Structure 1
Amino acid sequence: MEKICEVKGCNEKSFQTVPADLAGKVFSLKEEKTKVHLCKVHYKEYKKNTKKERETQRMDW
């Protein structure tokens, strides 16, 4: 079964899985989960909009 992007209104094929808490800050998601699937277009937008937060998380490790 092929996964589909979990951003509301998008039915594209899934490209990458990301943490739902960060993705929820950028997009309106279909449902609450711990991880969500994003298509290529939404993944690129997610990376651009969460860059600083992801860098901060990596520094905390």
Structure 2
Amino acid sequence: LNDDQKRRIAEMRKEYEAKIAEKKILLAGSEELTFELQKLNSAKEEKIKEIYSETKRAG
């Protein structure tokens, strides 16, 4: 990974950590919370995979 990709992954993780924290507050005690957290974690991982795949395409 180049420096730009590393930076983008770090930003993506921070962005999703904030979204997850927000959902935990808004949906505390809700049955929806687990689903929303799984959805956000999946989206985060997918975006990180996209950044990693840029390396494979370039290589």
Whether the TM-score (by the shorter chain) exceeds 0.5 is: no
- Give the greater-gyration-radius structure (CA): 2
If asked which structure has higher relative contact order (CA below 8 Å, sep 6+), I would say: 2
**TM-score band, normalised by shorter chain:** under 0.3
Report the TM-score, using the length of structure 2 for normalisation: 0.27
